[in-house]
């Protein structure tokens, strides 16, 4: 757990966040700058710097499964939602600790910008 990683600090409870779910593998909290009525970040507790660095396919499944559970809990599973993992500079990744965005509650345009 690198000391200088923002999401590791949120996992440890050193930096506050609005938590919405947690289990042994992942935590989920609301994005500080929401881009949709529901905008939640799901992160593995373990520090994994990006999807490109992921070694454990099961971990990715656990993150995605929590996103689907939260979509149901937020009431957006029937209207629809988007899950996004930004990887690298061209995708706009800014926090280098693997995270999945869960976005919903409005119509989301495609293709993304």
For binding to ligand 5GP (CB under 6 A), which residues are involved? Answer: 6, 17, 29, 31-33, 41, 86, 92-95
Task: In the chain, count H helices and then E strands.
Answer: 2, 5
Among 99, 67, 63, 65, CA closest to 82? 67
Q: Catalytic site residue 99?
A: yes
Alpha-carbon gap, residue 42 to 27, rounded angstroms:
6
Q: Which does 8 bind (CB under 5 to 8 A by kind): Zn ion, ligand 5GP, none?
A: Zn ion
Report how many residues bind Zn ion under the rule CB under 5 A. 5
Options 4-12, 30-38, 68-76, 78-86: segment touching Zn ion (CB under 5 A): 4-12
Active-site annotation, residues: 99
């Amino acid at each position: 757990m690198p000391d200088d990683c923002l999401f590791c600090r949120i996992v440890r409870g050193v930096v506050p966040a609005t938590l919405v779910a947690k289990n042994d593998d992942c935590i989920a909290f609301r994005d500080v700058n929401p881009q949709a009525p529901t905008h939640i970040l799901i992160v593995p507790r373990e520090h994994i710097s990006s999807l490109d660095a992921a070694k454990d396919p099961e971990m990715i499944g656990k993150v995605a499964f929590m996103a689907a559970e939260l979509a149901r809990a937020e009431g957006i599973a029937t209207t629809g939602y988007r899950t996004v993992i930004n990887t690298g500079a061209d995708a706009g990744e800014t926090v280098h600790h693997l995270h999945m965005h869960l976005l919903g509650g409005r119509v989301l345009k495609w293709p993304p910008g």
